[in-house]
Amino acid sequence: MPMACIEARGLRKTFGATIALDGVDLRVEEGRILGLIGPNGAGKTTALNAILGLTPYHGELKVLGRNPWTQRDELMRDVCFISDVAVLPRWLRVWQALDYVAGVHPRFDRAKAEGFLAKTSIPRSGKVRELSKGMVAQLHLALVMAIDARLLVLDEPTLGLDILFRKQFYDSLLNDYFDRSRTIVVTTHQVEEIQYVLTDVMFINQGRIVFDCSMEQFESRYLEVMVHPEQLPAARALKPMHERQTIGQSIMLFDVGQGSGVDRNRLAALGDLRTPGIADLFVAVIGHQSARAEGAAK
């Protein structure tokens, strides 16, 4: 079995009466790119803070074989973190940012960072406040990609960037940084844009992991059907996970995995088949969970 980069059992975190993480079990293997997806307040950032050693917790948690709370200094030699790119000091000049990271991180390769920046129009003497948000993202990414880290954690890294820079950000991450020996964990609300990057996806809701699978499993197990109008009763009889309307047509999401009782060939007779987006499955899973919770409360 591949080595675990992150492994948690019964991970729990409370803030007063609020339960942020409610007995989370998860395993992220080395060399994977995980998308951690959840609504606001689901526990994503709290989970990342625990992984990064930024908050104490209850339960078991190992990151690269270390306890992130008690061994944080040692762990941070192998970990990089990007949150919203607005965190760089606005008075800082580009060359000063390079100097700073070179001074504090033993695994920073300045020549590599300079090489990434040479592909941009970012002036070395420019201050962060003089750069566009897209340029700040490029600078931040250049700094991080030049660090020989085993784990990269990204918390909404492209927040506020236009679609062009978001695409460039993830393309650079995939083509210039990821080499299958590193592990990347990313949270974002722009789910569709990172689907092609991910190897694994997890949904978190109300402090619990409610869905966990590889993208290979995702693509083989779930199907959307754009149902022919005359086939609507037959399609609904198969109990889809979710149904939505688009331009007057019904699109239904089905689980065709082993034991589901739903046959791919049978669905093909009901309409046009396609692989769903992660966002569509997320809506189905979270919506089903909410419906069950409401039913239990009545």
Q: Where are the beta strands (DSSP E) in 148-266?
A: 151-155, 183-187, 200-205, 208-214, 222-227, 242-246, 249-255
The answer to whether the predicted template modeling score (pTM) of the entire model surpasses 0.75 is yes
Cβ neighbours around 125 below 10 Å, total:
9
Neighbours of 12 (CB within 10 A): 16
Burial 261-286 (b: 16+ CB within 10 A, else e): ebeeeebeebbeeeebebebbbbbbb
Say what the pLDDT of residue 290 is.
56
The chain-wide mean pLDDT, for the chain, equals: 89
Say how far apart CA 20 and CA 54 lie, in whole Å: 14
Q: Does residue 269 carry a pLDDT above 60?
A: yes
What tens digit of pLDDT does each residue of 198-241 get? 999 999 999 999 999 999 999 999 999 999 999 999 999 999 99
Q: Which amino acid is at 154?
A: L
Q: Is 1 exposed, middle or buried (0-12, 13-18, 19+ CB in 10 A)?
A: exposed
Q: Which of 82-96, 214-228, 266-280 has the lowest mean pLDDT?
A: 82-96
pLDDT band at 260 (very low <50, low <70, confident <90, very high): confident
Question: One-letter amino acid identity for 264?
Answer: R
CATH number of 4-206: 3.40.50.300
**pLDDT computed for residue 278 by the predictor:** 94
